[in-house]
Amino acid sequence: MTKKINSFSLKFDTDWQYAAAPESSEHVEIKDKYDLFIGSKFVQPKSKKYFETINPSNEEVISKVAEANGSDVDAAVSAARKAFPKWSKLPAKERAKYIFRIARLIQERAREFAVIESMDGGKPIKEARDIDIPLAAAHFFYYAGWADKLEYAFPHRKVEPLGVAGQIIPWNFPLLMAAWKIAPALACGNTVVLKPAETTPLTAMKLAELIQDAGLPDGVVNIITGAGQTGAALVEHPDIDKIAFTGSTEVGKIIQKAIAGTKKKATLELGGKSANIIFEDAAIDQAVEGVINGIFFNQGHVCCAGSRLFVQESIKEEVERKLKARLETLIVGDPLDKNTDVGAINSKKQLETIEAYLKIGEKEGLESFQVKSKLPKKGYYCHPTLFFDVAQSSRLAQEEIFGPVLAIQTFRTVDEAIEKANNTPYGLSAGVWTDKGSKAFNLSVQLKAGVVWANTFNKFDPTSPFGGYKESGFGREGGLQGLEGYLKVE
Ligand code: NAP
Ligand code: MG
């Protein structure tokens, strides 16, 4: 059985260069049940178990997906291993053709992917449409281009693929994270087993259908759904050469322990508590817009979200006033409404986590601000929230909330801003808002963050490496550097 949803009512016009192809289908097809994608076939899980994936905006069940157990993981890894010799020896320009084909097919089905991403995970359709899906296609295009140019990426060095990569991804950017993982792995000649997150498996299963249509040789890409245990079984599988993980710092640490002393290589993209810093010489309106985007984009479910705001004391009153005014205009609600700015929280569990932090702020006696707009009756929603004068020691300033909650602090001098911004166990990203180029360059060196944005925030591009310092993980994805994680370079 298949549900058909007409997406014609949703306006998909955009001038983004990787936007939906004109022939992009208007129909969204979601099956009632999805099996595991192993060896280019959809196969039933050995456990015979399936779990429901729901739409967090209305709590309705969208579909059921298979729960892979240890033997299913084994079957997927074997399929990937079997495919490896042929795939890795295929002339690189032939490998590239398959990856280009995947990119093209994502463009052709961009509407379908955008609608499913929004339904399964709760993100606003305009973000799925303009950012997630186009960027996912862009990653495949970008890495397809590298496949037959690896000798130029690493001049005078010998490069070889690693083998079978086990890839585990989170729920905040489901298709995009799959693209970040699969595209470079394939370009370098590896084969993969991907495990999507439990709450957002559907675009990965759509990608499996697309990969089948693209005619990739059997077993080059395998996609297995399941819970944390499925991920753990993949990490522990003895025939995996590389683990690429994006998720929480907590699980990242478990993975590091599990693979210690084995041949397995790893890249870990973990949590964050990133600083957005506004200096008095900045273009304030532009900075306020960047701060709003930095924390409320994707409901704040962003590893590099600008969840700590540092404002220079002299402009505190103006920035806070403008932030409050901007909150009044944000539309919170139905993710499939193209005007929605802040959609649904991804799961009940995540909403409970966020609400617990709101209580902590209240208990600490912090001043806060919310606009109590009317929310849909069903579904998981959280009003965007500002907390003012947050102490450095507050849990709201220290811990990753992963929701639409901004902790505002102030500073007087450049050195104080740097010291406070770096005072965190994380180091994923930072934003600097200033009119002075020299200040932006100085901070980009001094801030311990993998990415430092100047007068912008949350800007992603496949050519640009992304990754963390400290407890935000190690290794880089994107750009030339993203190839290294999938190669033995001698
Ligand atoms: P998570 O709980 O760590 O889960 C991530 C993935 O790992 C999911 O597929 C999960 O499966 C699986 N998993 C859970 N336990 C596992 C185990 N013991 N062994 C192997 N795999 C396991 O993280 P999340 O809540 O989905 O995502 C939010 C976190 O991801 C945030 O901390 C965020 O900062 C981080 N993140 C980082 C980046 C980055 O690039 N640095 C990007 C996006 C997100 P289930 O879904 O079934 O639990
Ligand atoms: Mg879901």
pLDDT tens figures, 356-367: 999 999 999 999
- pTM for the complete prediction? 0.95
Q: Which of 108, 198, 303, 400 is catalytic?
A: 303
Strands (E), 157-256: 159-161, 164-168, 191-195, 221-223, 242-246
Whether 364 is catalytic is no
- DSSP bridge partners of 27: 6
Sorted by where each begins, the domain ranges of the chain are 2-270+470-489, 275-454
In three-state secondary structure terms, 393 is: coil
pLDDT tens figures, 37-90: 999 999 999 999 999 999 999 999 999 999 999 999 999 999 999 999 999 999
Identify which ligand lies nearest to the alpha carbon of 169: 1
Which atom of ligand 1 is the closest one to the Cα of 199?
46
Please give the pLDDT value at position 17.
Answer: 40
Q: Taking a C-beta distance cutoff of 8 angstroms, is the pair 326, 342 a contact?
A: no
**What protein residues have CB closer than 5 angstroms to ion ligand 2?**
53, 120, 199
- DSSP bridge partners of 43: 36
In the chain, % of residues over pLDDT 90: 94
How far is Cα 149 from Cα 166, in angstroms, rounded to an integer? 24
Whether 303 is catalytic is yes
Mean pLDDT over 105-134 rounds to: 96
Identify which ligand lies nearest to the alpha carbon of 379: 2
- Quick one: tokens of 447? 């801030």
Please give the pLDDT value at position 7.
Answer: 52
167 Cα–ligand 2 center, Å: 20
Ligand 1 pocket check: which of 248, 347, 429, 481 to mutate, most ligand atoms within 8 Å of Cβ?
248
pLDDT tens figures, 21-41: 445 556 789 999 999 999 999
Residue nearest to atom 16 of ligand 1 (CA): 228
89 Cα–ligand 2 center, Å: 38
Q: Which CATH number fits domain 2-270+470-489: 3.40.605.10, 3.30.470.30, 3.40.50.2300, 2.60.120.10?
A: 3.40.605.10
Which atom of ligand 1 is the closest one to the Cα of 272?
34
Q: Which of 67, 108, 117, 269 is catalytic?
A: 269
Please give the pLDDT value at position 79.
Answer: 98
How far is Cα 397 from Cα 403, in angstroms, rounded to an integer? 13
Identify which ligand lies nearest to the alpha carbon of 197: 1
Q: What is the mean pLDDT of the chain?
A: 95
pLDDT tens figures, 188-241: 999 999 999 999 999 999 999 999 999 999 999 999 999 999 999 999 999 999
pLDDT tens figures, 10-20: 444 444 444 44
pLDDT tens figures, 303-340: 999 999 999 999 999 999 999 999 999 999 999 999 99
Please give the pLDDT value at position 13.
Answer: 43
User: 275-454 adopts what CATH topology?
Assistant: Aldehyde Dehydrogenase; Chain A, domain 2 (3.40.309)
Element (H, E) at 105: helix 92-108
C-alpha angle 129-299-10 in degrees, rounded to nearest 5: 30
Strand order across the 473-474 sheet: 41-43, 36-38, 221-223, 191-195, 164-168, 242-246, 265-269, 473-474
